[in-house]
């Protein structure tokens, strides 16, 4: 500040007393506390995100292929509350999720165990009886491979009963809620392998939440007692679920 004042020919130049030049003791310590960093990492690894079920569509009767009427999603067709293991790219599990998806092409067994621990803490009740996942065009084997290992670790059957029925554009490119939901109209169908007991529905990443919502409604319409969504990462901590 004094330098600037001088350069601008200020007649009344004083030291501020607040900066490092005026007082070297104000320097931040350069010591790095590994213990503290470890604790921060452990804290993040247990910071599970709640996935709250959506209760209404962006617009009334907006679907052409699906027989979803009206504006509200009736309670008997809604998903139950779910969990996301991390925030996309965070220093807990988030970086491992990004690496699995884009570098290794496989989600590690550490992530399987982390999800088992998360489910133990979460205690969905009644407990799911089978596990399924959202299919993806871009990385067709990625989520099914993970889901199979998770189901195995939980001692539950993996039932791949969700099929891509109509090709849809990537959800990422959709501008708003209306387009995100509309884009999924007719996108998936439930096959005969379907079971009626409570199910755990896996996806790698939750963004707007419409994919999990549409598939949950389809499963519940087919007769599934409860659908618990589980994602490896959530894109934003402030995803709004109305």
Using CB under 5 A, which of the segments 19-27, 85-93, 143-151, 207-215 binds Zn ion? 19-27
- Judged by CB under 5 A, the residue of 5, 22, 62, 117 near Zn ion is 22
User: By C-beta, is 22 or 44 nearer to Zn ion?
Assistant: 22
116 touches 154 (CB < 8 A):
yes
Task: Enumerate residues 6+ apart whose C-beta is below 8 A from 217.
Answer: 66, 68, 73, 77, 78, 79
- Judged by CB under 5 A, the residue of 13, 14, 16, 223 near Zn ion is 16
Closest approach of Zn ion to the CB of residue 7, in Å: 15
Using CB under 5 A, which of the segments 20-28, 69-77, 91-99, 219-227 binds Zn ion? 20-28
Closest approach of Zn ion to the CB of residue 9, in Å: 19
Name the nearest CA neighbour of 144 among 102, 184, 204, 193.
204
d(CA 200, CA 178): 26
Does 5 contact Zn ion by CB under 5 A? no
User: By C-beta, is 5 or 95 nearer to Zn ion?
Assistant: 5
d(CA 47, CA 228): 18
- Centre a 10 Å sphere on the Cβ of residue 74 and count the other Cβ atoms it contains: 12
Q: How many residues bind Zn ion (CB under 5 A)?
A: 3
Does 26 contact Zn ion by CB under 5 A? no
> Could you give phi then psi for residue 51, rounded to 5 degrees?
-105, 110
Per-residue binder mask for Zn ion (CB under 5 A), 83-112, x = binder: ------------------------------
Place of tokens 């755990």: 200
Q: Site residues (CB under 5 A) for Zn ion? A: 16, 19, 22
């Amino acid at each position: 500040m004094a330098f600037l004042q001088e350069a601008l020919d200020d007649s009344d130049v004083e030291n501020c007393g607040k900066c490092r030049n005026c007082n070297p003791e104000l320097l931040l310590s350069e010591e790095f506390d590994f213990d503290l960093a470890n604790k921060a990492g452990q804290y993040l690894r247990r910071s599970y995100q709640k996935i709250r079920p959506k209760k209404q569509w962006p617009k009334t009767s907006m679907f052409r292929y699906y027989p979803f009427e009206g504006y509200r999603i009736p309670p008997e067709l809604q998903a139950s509350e779910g969990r996301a293991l991390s925030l996309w790219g965070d220093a807990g599990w988030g970086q491992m999720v990004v690496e699995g998806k884009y570098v290794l092409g496989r989600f590690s067994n550490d992530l399987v165990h982390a999800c088992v621990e998360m489910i133990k803490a979460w205690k969905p009740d009644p407990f799911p009886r089978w596990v399924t996942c959202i299919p993806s065009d871009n990385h067709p084997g990625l989520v099914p491979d993970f889901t199979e290992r998770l189901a195995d670790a939980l001692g539950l059957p993996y039932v791949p009963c969700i099929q891509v029925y109509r090709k849809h554009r990537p959800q990422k490119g959709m501008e708003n809620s209306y387009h995100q939901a509309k884009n999924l109209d007719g996108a998936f169908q439930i096959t005969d392998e379907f079971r009626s007991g409570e199910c755990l529905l896996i996806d790698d990443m939750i963004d707007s939440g419409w994919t999990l919502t549409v598939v949950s409604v389809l499963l519940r319409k087919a007769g599934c007692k409860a659908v618990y969504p589980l994602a490896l990462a959530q894109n934003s901590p402030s995803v709004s679920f109305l």
